[in-house]
Amino acid sequence: MKLHDAKRVAIIIEAPMQRRLTEAMERAGVTGYSVLKVQAGSGQSGRWSADAAVGKAGGLVQVVCVVRQDGLDELIEHAFPLVQRHIGIITVTDCQVLRPERF
């Protein structure tokens, strides 16, 4: 079985920004992604928990996608302005996929 190099991009952002982020990702050519609810964590402001947040505005989501190397710069170009203005982080890791035609 042949594996193909790709990039896994995980973006954590405030829940109310989810739609804007996924629209930006789609404009960058991302064809698939998953959205995960973030339950708790710790960062510059210290520990936090979704249980202590009031309403959706206090929550975070993680949007995960896999892209080809040649699509990474465009994705970052579209996503970073949203993350830069809000609570958020973008991580990029190397990964391998079995069906490269899907990315």
For 13-25, how does the pLDDT look when each residue is reduced to its tens digit (9 = 90+)? 999 999 999 999 9
Q: Does residue 97 belong to any structural domain of this protein?
A: no
What pLDDT, on a 0 to 100 scale, did the predictor assign at position 58? 62
Output the furthest CA–CA distance in the chain (Å, rounded).
Answer: 48
- Name the pLDDT band for 96 (thresholds 50, 70, 90): very high
Report the pLDDT value the prediction gives residue 74, as an integer from 0 to 100. 97
Q: What is the pLDDT, as a whole number, of residue 61? A: 95
Signed CA dihedral, 15, 19, 24, 30: sign only: positive
pLDDT at position 11, please? 98
pLDDT digits (tens, 9 = 90+) for 31-83: 999 999 998 888 777 787 777 655 555 689 999 999 999 999 999 999 999 99
Residue 8 lies in a domain: no
Domain count, the chain: 1
pLDDT attached to residue 66: 97
Residue 1 in domain: no
Q: Is residue 45 domain-resident?
A: yes
Has residue 38 been placed in a domain?
yes
Range of the domain at 68: 15-55+63-91
Q: Is residue 30 part of a domain?
A: yes
With respect to residue 5, please indicate whether it lies within any of the assigned structural domains.
no
Give a yes or no: residue 21 inside a domain: yes
Confidence (pTM): 0.87
Residue 55 C-beta-side C-alpha neighbours within 13 Å: 2
